[in-house]
Structure 1
């Protein structure tokens, strides 16, 4: 338990998920137009897109739908990446970089449209996000991002320290960059809701089906799970940092990064109107990034880079209480009821990867490479 906790560790998003979907283990050989490995945002959104277009789809998930990073992350529906616009253009070139910037800028519309069209019960709140300056140097970085974003048509607003403090209710905020396009969701419910919608379109979902072999026979793909084979013309790998047991040309070249989160009991009513009264989701400019937001029940959910379940878990336990008191002194003694961690497959340049591993025949690997991967996942899946 974390100091001050009133309940054992556990993933809040699993406890409060209002969506459900049937996904029995693969129990027989089968054929499909498309086989998808991974039941998170990307895999489930791709299954929905493909099945809705008339393709026959089989999705294989080693654990349960939304088990990995999709069911453990912050739930920020952002309109961009860690890398600022000019950085993307430097990495990708003018044409490709500009195309990605425009696509990600429109991606929150795509996410919230999917939620509305498929009635996904995932606590959607489109009140924007606040990128908070943790220090004067962080505010200087936000000024630069503000100029870059506005140059590319993003409707960003730069808030000084006084306005940012009033919007967040937090101490130690030196300013913020507000993006009205963005918002928050209950991430596991969103992932499961996408899968449920995909199943309603005819996609066949199989959880508890870890993949043990992938091969191409010259005419199509064969994917083995639970001792059974799925034969398909096309293959999508969407496992992010939960790429267990898949080796060879299909193993991603990424660095696993852990992010731990903590959730308090609901904030008392007399404090609720002063802490994130507008419902924005927040993260900061620190090198070791931190995040904070509220859920529908009024819990404060906050976290930072680090592995709560690793050897330094006790350090993260202590950090949680100190961080809560530093940000929100009035919440310092509020019980912390949930604590969990997840992994992200961080790419070398923090830019999403859509690649084709050998033999490059009707196969695609998607790696998001960012904590804010709800929008990139949706965009990659649709693309």
Structure 2
């Protein structure tokens, strides 16, 4: 499956096998053609197939190849934005609708997991947004206030409580969101694929779309060895979009994110570190995240690409940062390492686009792909089968706008993270010597 040895890491090693899928050869007809076998595309395929719709999914690589199979696996509610900022940014009536939908999105994920008996290490124990310093504490207090006004089941933890919850004294406080949790993302996306196929969807791997043509009554999606004819198309490729729809990737800035996984920790360490098995991320601008997997490995991640000089810089920083957080991990070693790309928008809000007649796309998940991707796919299915109308969708249809200075901004993310981690690693070394 891997494009390289650092593409899927632990998730590839621990996920159940993907369902067997062939490469498309010849011409097939469908009611809906979906490009991309990630969270959005496969959720749409599942819900459409359950409604009796003929669905074909075309995946250029393998199921979960993109961000869906590489992320840390935090199933969060909402977006990165604070609720009030989201409402102001999106506007009425979509802001309230989007906030309500995403507040319940983790529950939708875990319901699908239970309904289809997916083997994906799903744990709904909540997530901890941990405050670093006084500024971080102000941030989570304000988020707590806003979520409290909306009646969300979130709790503000003080410094002592967060130390008990995480096993480290590094944080000034934390926001515990009990709606959220963790999941093995590649196993989950493969579970979605398996459920969609059981419902009647057809999925083709190694089947990149080379060209799209408007046949007036239907769209023709040309691949290397075949074609799909369908009146409806969903483009669900996000940060891994090819040049078939060049305007889609042009509006996203790709941010690299890496994860490393330790050897399985012993029972004593697991009892000290995250005893409640929540997922964690912090308030730093170059953030860190971590959680346990089912085998007791600590999965730790941050912004950065594990390539060229960045590989050694980020790994060295990760080792030192983990030892600073948890001094008991004196000889921490990593068994797995991997990274991928996050599609970022200018305002941290996803985009809904109509790319043509009956051609729809959600993109720009800004690091929140699991729960939003699942419910956005369901919403597109509802639109296609007539359960809802365009004006009922959670986001307004927006025009495609290429981002300015995209290469410079992407380089800023990658090399800025390298610099932050290089300086951070040096400062941590100095602290230990002093």
Give me the whole-angstrom Cα distance separating, in 2, the residues matched to 1:32 and 1:229: 11
Q: 1:146 aligns with which of 135, 141, 144?
A: 144
Identify if the C-alpha distance between structure 1 residues 79 and 19 changes in structure 2 by more than 3 Å, giving closer, same or farther: farther
Paired position in structure 1 for 2:101: 103
Kindly provide the CA deviation profile for residues 275-309 of structure 1, in whole angstroms up to 9, marking residues without a partner as x.
Answer: 10101001111111110100011100011011112
Give me the whole-angstrom Cα distance separating, in 1, the residues matched to 2:233 and 2:308: 34
Does structure 1 retain, via aligned residues, the 8 Å contact 2:265–2:298?
yes
Say if 2:189 is the partner of 1:202: no
Shift in Å at residue 311 of structure 1? 4.3
Give me the whole-angstrom Cα distance separating, in 2, the residues matched to 1:15 and 1:226: 30
Paired position in structure 2 for 1:4: none
Does structure 2 retain, via aligned residues, the 8 Å contact 1:282–1:292?
yes
Give me the whole-angstrom Cα distance separating, in 1, the residues matched to 2:55 and 2:296: 38
Q: Greater shift after overlay, 137-146 or 222-231?
A: 222-231
**Greater RCO between the two (CA within 8 Å, min separation 6)?**
1
Say if 2:291 is the partner of 1:306: no
Across the aligned residues of Structure 1 and Structure 2, the Cα RMSD in angstroms comes to 1.5
Give me the whole-angstrom Cα distance separating, in 2, the residues matched to 1:241 and 1:354: 14
Paired position in structure 2 for 1:370: 366
Paired position in structure 1 for 2:50: 52
Shift in Å at residue 227 of structure 1? 3.0
Give me the whole-angstrom Cα distance separating, in 1, the residues matched to 2:36 and 2:362: 10
Identify if the C-alpha distance between structure 1 residues 113 and 144 changes in structure 2 by more than 3 Å, giving closer, same or farther: same
Identify if the C-alpha distance between structure 1 residues 349 and 169 changes in structure 2 by more than 3 Å, giving closer, same or farther: same
Does structure 1 retain, via aligned residues, the 8 Å contact 2:319–2:332?
no
Runs of 5+ unmatched residues, structure 1: 1-6
Say if 2:16 is the partner of 1:14: no
Q: 2:92 aligns with which of 83, 94, 97?
A: 94
Paired position in structure 2 for 1:255: 253
Kindly provide the CA deviation profile for residues 189-239 of structure 1, in whole angstroms up to 9, marking residues without a partner as x.
Answer: 000000010000110000111111112122211111123110101000111
Q: Matches of residues 173-212 of structure 1 in structure 2 within 5 Å?
A: 173-212=171-210
Give me the whole-angstrom Cα distance separating, in 2, the residues matched to 1:308 and 1:135: 28
Does structure 2 retain, via aligned residues, the 8 Å contact 1:259–1:342?
yes
Q: Secondary structure at the match of 2:263?
A: strand
Paired position in structure 2 for 1:38: 36
When normalised by structure 2's length, the TM-score is 0.84
Q: Secondary structure at the match of 2:162?
A: helix
Paired position in structure 2 for 1:3: none
Identify if the C-alpha distance between structure 1 residues 334 and 250 changes in structure 2 by more than 3 Å, giving closer, same or farther: closer
When normalised by structure 1's length, the TM-score is 0.95
Q: Secondary structure at the match of 1:308?
A: coil
Paired position in structure 1 for 2:383: none
Q: How many residues align?
A: 375
Give me the whole-angstrom Cα distance separating, in 2, the residues matched to 1:246 and 1:283: 35
Does structure 2 retain, via aligned residues, the 8 Å contact 1:321–1:332?
no
Q: Matches of residues 223-262 of structure 1 in structure 2 within 5 Å?
A: 223-262=221-260
Identify if the C-alpha distance between structure 1 residues 94 and 250 changes in structure 2 by more than 3 Å, giving closer, same or farther: closer
Does structure 2 retain, via aligned residues, the 8 Å contact 1:163–1:175?
yes
Kindly provide the CA deviation profile for residues 103-157 of structure 1, in whole angstroms up to 9, marking residues without a partner as x.
Answer: 1111111100100011110001010000011222101000000011111221110
Does structure 1 retain, via aligned residues, the 8 Å contact 2:15–2:187?
yes
Give me the whole-angstrom Cα distance separating, in 2, the residues matched to 1:225 and 1:8: 28
- Give the helix-richer structure, 1 or 2: 2
Kindly provide the CA deviation profile for residues 77-104 of structure 1, in whole angstroms up to 9, marking residues without a partner as x.
Answer: 1111101111111111132111111111
Q: 1:334 aligns with which of 332, 335, 350?
A: 332
Say if 2:360 is the partner of 1:356: no
Identify if the C-alpha distance between structure 1 residues 98 and 77 changes in structure 2 by more than 3 Å, giving closer, same or farther: same
Q: Greater shift after overlay, 137-146 or 324-333?
A: 324-333
